[in-house]
Amino acid sequence: MKINTKFLGEIECTEEDIVVFVEAISGFPELSKYIIIQLNDDATLNYLQSVDVEEVCFVITQPAALVGNYDIDISENIVDRLNLLNAEDALVFSILNIKDDSKLMTANLAAPIIINTKNNKAIQGILEGAGYKVKQGFSNLEELASASKE
């Protein structure tokens, strides 16, 4: 199938590429289907592109690229809703808030995107008591941004 994307125009994807959110991303209650588009060879930065609305696209990264050890406890509620049987089946991303000045970019570490790679179900989980911020600044976000342009 073909979908229109915000940054890459029309691209081809399959039904197996679609990640379905069991609960919508905050602020986008009507959207549940997305695809992940890899931006660079090492997959440091990716797009989370809505299948249904071309203008809705998030830049995401794996939190470990920012903080090294991103050790979180996924609640039983999320585990159940995603039918997540093994921790190694979970893929975790943070949404980046991109600014014109890359030194002002932030990452949402308090509400990561959690995907069950076995069934492509996803949710934006809210971490309680983990000490992570919704708008966490990082010095190495500038490096991530420049790497995606190469």
pTM for the structure as a whole = 0.88
- Distance, in Å, from the CA atom of 5 to the CA atom of 95, rounded to the nearest integer, reads 17
Report d(CA 119, CA 100) in Å as an integer. 36
Question: Which tens digit of pLDDT belongs to each residue from 95-136?
Answer: 999 877 767 788 999 999 999 999 999 999 988 767 788 888
In the chain the domains, ranked by start, together with CATH numbers, are 2-149 (2.30.290.10)
